[in-house]
Amino acid sequence: MDRRLKTKIKMIVCFSLLIGNTSCGHETISEQNRDDRVIPVMTDEKTVSEYVFITNLGHDAKGCPGCILNHGKYIHINCQGRGNACRAAATVSLNQVGTTITATTVDTFGLTNLDFFLMPDRSLEYLDENNNLIFLNIPAQQVYRDSTTLQFTFTGLYITSSPAYSND
């Protein structure tokens, strides 16, 4: 196996172990811990194509009649959808064609082991190459695993100088 690939895999595994063990307890994460961000996965290569998305999402089932459409019926699933009760992290590959940005997960089960995921709208902080604070905005969407790759692809992402969403 190529040394750079081994290094990259080690970094992803270590980072995933550090932040990827998310839980969805009954306790709401305080506003002080709300650091929704994008972190580049550093490699020996000059360009970065993989990033880790870190965000809070999900809400308590109490008072939720169901917010995820599954087989024609609305259900509640912990750690999906609106809110900030859970901490989530996923390694993604960003792709930009013109102004269209998509993000495809690299870690197959980082967000969920289910075949779908309800992503709330989120604005993730990022420092660009000039150290300017910018935001990668992800519109709310329910995504489904690709049947071949088992990955999720988020569409309609866009970058702004201020957050487009309130992340709550």
Predicted local confidence at residue 48, as pLDDT: 66
Please report how many Cα atoms fall inside a 13 Å half-sphere around the Cα of residue 27, on the Cβ side: 7
The domain locations on the chain are 3-160
Task: Pull the structure tokens for residue 131.
Answer: 């150290």
Per-residue pLDDT, 71: 87
Average pLDDT of the residues in 77-81:
93
Type of residue found at 4 = R
Predicted confidence at residue 129, as pLDDT, reads 86
- Cα–Cα distance for residue pair 114/42, rounded to 1 Å: 29
Is the predicted pLDDT of residue 39 greater than 70, yes or no? yes
pLDDT beyond 90 at 101? yes
Q: How many CB atoms lie within 10 A of CB 124?
A: 22
pTM here is 0.77
Predicted local distance difference test score (pLDDT) of residue 104: 96
State the DSSP code for 121: P
- The Cα 9–Cα 146 span in angstroms is 22
Q: Does residue 125 or residue 23 have the better pLDDT?
A: 125
pLDDT above 50 for 91: yes
Tokens representing residue 52 in the block = 């880790």
pLDDT higher than threshold 50 for residue 110: yes
